[in-house]
C-alpha cells in the first residue's frame, strides 16, 4: 500500500506556487526582455568584497560550527547599532533576531502571532510572499488599498470602526512591491497610533528602504511604537545568497520566534552571517557601495518611467519610482494587462499582470514592471515592444 499524505491536497489550496514564479519560467527565453522578474542585479553585487569577507570569516573555526538560533552574535551587534541609528533609540541586541531572509521572519511571526481565523490586514495590491504565509497560517485576510501615499488609513479606520480587530497589519512601507509607493510620514505616525489604540501588531516589511533615489526614506513606522515589528534584509543591498534577513521586535516576540526557529532549522550559517556583519560594519565601503547601486537603479527607473510616458502618454499612468525595484503602471484606456501579455511575449517583452498581486480589487488594467536588471537602452526597447504589442491589440470593449 502506498503511503498517503492527507494534508497536502488541502494545503495546496492555500499554497499555490505563485503565478509570478510560473511566469518567470516562461520568460527566460533569450529573445524576451523581461520586466517580469523581481531580482536585484547580480552584476551590482559586491562579489570581490564578499570573497575577501569569506576568506576572513574562515580564519576562525567557530564560524564553521552551529551558531545560536537568534543569529551569529557579531551580526546581531552590528544590526543593533544600525537599527539604533535608524530608530533613534538604543535597540538592545535581545530585540534583534536574524532570519534566513526576511521571508523566514514572516513565516515564523505568522506562527507566533496568528491563530487560525485571525484577521490579517494586507495592502492591495499585496506582496505575494506575505499573502502566501498568512494564507498558510489560516488567517482571514482583508485588503486595504494603496494610493500615492501608501496604505489608505481612512479605509483601515472604517474597518476598525465596524468592530473588526486585526491581529496583524502588514505593510511594505518603502517603495512597495508591487505598488511602488511609500507610506507617508503622517500615515506612519497614524498607523502606529492605531496599533496602540486597538492593540494590533504592525509588521513593517522593509527590504527596499535603503534603495532611495532622491531623498532618504522616512523614519520607519517602528520609530513610533513598540507595537511595530520591523523586518529588513541584506538581499537587496548586498546579495541574496547571504540569506540574511532580520527582525527588530520586543524581546517576548523574539523569544517565541526563537523556539520556532529551533524546530524550523536550528540556526543560520555563521559563515554567511559573519560575511554580512563584515560588510555592514565596513561603513565607508558600504556607503559607497549602496550609493552606486542607488545611482544605477535610479537611472534605470527614470529610463523606464520616461519611456512609458513618452510612448503611452495618458493611456498609462505609472508611479514615479522614487526607489526600490518596481514601477506599477495602469492602462487608462481599458486595456486588459493579462490579455495583453500573450501579445507582449510575441513582441519580446514580459511583465507581471496586476491580477497576480490582487487581493480584493482585480487590477485587470495594471502591471508590475521591474527595472533592476536591464540597462536604460534595453528598458527603452522593452517599452517600445510593449507599445507595439498594445498597438497590435484590438481595443477592449
Binding positions for a second copy, 103-142, rule CB under 8 A: 103-104, 107, 111-115, 118, 129, 132-133, 136
Q: Of 98, 96, 97, 120, give the one whose Cα is nearest residue 110.
A: 120
Per-residue interface string for the shown chain with a second copy, residues 321-360, x marking contact by CB under 8 A: ----------------------------------------
CB of 20 to a second copy, least distance (A): 11
Q: Is 232 in the site for a second copy (CB under 8 A)?
A: no
Q: Of 102, 27, 13, 15, give the one whose Cα is nearest residue 353.
A: 27
Chosen residue from 171, 177, 232, 269 binding a second copy by CB under 8 A: 269
β-partners of residue 352 are 368
Cα distances (angstroms) measured from residue 154 to each of 188, 221, 228, 371:
13, 17, 19, 31
Query: Is the Cβ of residue 266 or residue 342 nearer to a second copy in the bound state?
Result: 266
Q: Is 256 in the site for a second copy (CB under 8 A)?
A: yes
Q: Of 322, 337, 354, 341, give the one whose Cα is nearest residue 126.
A: 354
CB 31 within 8 A of CB 345: no
CB of 242 to a second copy, least distance (A): 7
Cα separation, 222 vs 232, in Å, equals: 12
Residues between 169 and 198 with contacts to a second copy, criterion CB under 8 A? 195-198
β-strand pairing of 33-34 with 140-147:
unpaired
CB of 126 to a second copy, least distance (A): 14
Q: Is 303 exposed, middle or buried (0-12, 13-18, 19+ CB in 10 A)?
A: buried
Query: Is the Cβ of residue 139 or residue 307 nearer to a second copy in the bound state?
Result: 139
CB of 113 to a second copy, least distance (A): 5
Q: Is 17 in the site for a second copy (CB under 8 A)?
A: yes
Per-residue interface string for the shown chain with a second copy, residues 21-40, x marking contact by CB under 8 A: x-----------------xx
Q: Is 209 in the site for a second copy (CB under 8 A)?
A: no
Chosen residue from 26, 90, 148, 266 binding a second copy by CB under 8 A: 266
Q: Is 253 in the site for a second copy (CB under 8 A)?
A: yes
Judged by CB under 8 A, the number of residues near a second copy is 82
CB of 239 to a second copy, least distance (A): 4
Q: Any residues with CB less than 8 A from the CB of 281 and at least 6 apart, and which?
A: 78
CB of 235 to a second copy, least distance (A): 8
**Can you say whether residue 225 is alpha, beta or left, with left for phi > 0 and alpha for psi between -120 and 50 degrees?**
beta
Residues between 46 and 85 with contacts to a second copy, criterion CB under 8 A? 47, 50-51, 54-55, 58, 61-67
CB 310 within 8 A of CB 380: no
Q: Is the dihedral of CA 332, 333, 338, 342 positive or negative?
A: negative
CB of 249 to a second copy, least distance (A): 10
Q: Of 26, 204, 11, give the one whose Cα is nearest residue 109.
A: 204
Amino acid at each position: 500500500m502506498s503511503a498517503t499524505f492527507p494534508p497536502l491536497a488541502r494545503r495546496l489550496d492555500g499554497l499555490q506556487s505563485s503565478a509570478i514564479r510560473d511566469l518567470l519560467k516562461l520568460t527566460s527565453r533569450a529573445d524576451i526582455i523581461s520586466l517580469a522578474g523581481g531580482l536585484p542585479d547580480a552584476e551590482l553585487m559586491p562579489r570581490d568584497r564578499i570573497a575577501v569577507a569569506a576568506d576572513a570569516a574562515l580564519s576562525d573555526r567557530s564560524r564553521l560550527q552551529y551558531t545560536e538560533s537568534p543569529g551569529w552574535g557579531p551580526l546581531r551587534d552590528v544590526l543593533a547599532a544600525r537599527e539604533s541609528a535608524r530608530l533613534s533609540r538604543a535597540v538592545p541586541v535581545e530585540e534583534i533576531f536574524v532570519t534566513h531572509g526576511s521571508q523566514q521572519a514572516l513565516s515564523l511571526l505568522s506562527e507566533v502571532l496568528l491563530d487560525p481565523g485571525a484577521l490579517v490586514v494586507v495592502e492591495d495590491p499585496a506582496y505575494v510572499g506575505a499573502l502566501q504565509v498568512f494564507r498558510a497560517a489560516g488567517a482571514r485576510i482583508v485588503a486595504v488599498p494603496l494610493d500615492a501615499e501608501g496604505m489608505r488609513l481612512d479605509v483601515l479606520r472604517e474597518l476598525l470602526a465596524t468592530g473588526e480587530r486585526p491581529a496583524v497589519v502588514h505593510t511594505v512601507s518603502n517603495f512597495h512591491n508591487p505598488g511602488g509607493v511609500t507610506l507617508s510620514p503622517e500615515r506612519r505616525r497614524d498607523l502606529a497610533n492605531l496599533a496602540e489604540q486597538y492593540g494590533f501588531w504592525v509588521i513593517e516589511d522593509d527590504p527596499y528602504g535603503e534603495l532611495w533615489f532622491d531623498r532618504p526614506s522616512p523614519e520607519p513606522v517602528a520609530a513610533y511604537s513598540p507595537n511595530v515589528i520591523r523586518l529588513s534584509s541584506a538581499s537587496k543591498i548586498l546579495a541574496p545568497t547571504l540569506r540574511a534577513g532580520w527582525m527588530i521586535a520586543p524581546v517576548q516576540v523574539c523569544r517565541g520566534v526563537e523556539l520556532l526557529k529551533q524546530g524550523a532549522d536550528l540556526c543560520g550559517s555563521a559563515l554567511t552571517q559573519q560575511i554580512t556583519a563584515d560588510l555592514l560594519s565596513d561603513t565607508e565601503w558600504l556607503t559607497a557601495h549602496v550609493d552606486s547601486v542607488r545611482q544605477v537603479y535610479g537611472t534605470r527607473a527614470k529610463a523606464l518611467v520616461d519611456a512609458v510616458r513618452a510612448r503611452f502618454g495618458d493611456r498609462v499612468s505609472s508611479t514615479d519610482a522614487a526607489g526600490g525595484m518596481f514601477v506599477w503602471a495602469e492602462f487608462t484606456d481599458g486595456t486588459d494587462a493579462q490579455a495583453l501579455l500573450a501579445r507582449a511575449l510575441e513582441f519580446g517583452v514580459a511583465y507581471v499582470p496586476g491580477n497576480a498581486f490582487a487581493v480584493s480589487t482585480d487590477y485587470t488594467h495594471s502591471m508590475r514592471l521591474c527595472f533592476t536588471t536591464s540597462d536604460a537602452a534595453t528598458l527603452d526597447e522593452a517599452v517600445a515592444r510593449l507599445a507595439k504589442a498594445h498597438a497590435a491589440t484590438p481595443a477592449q470593449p
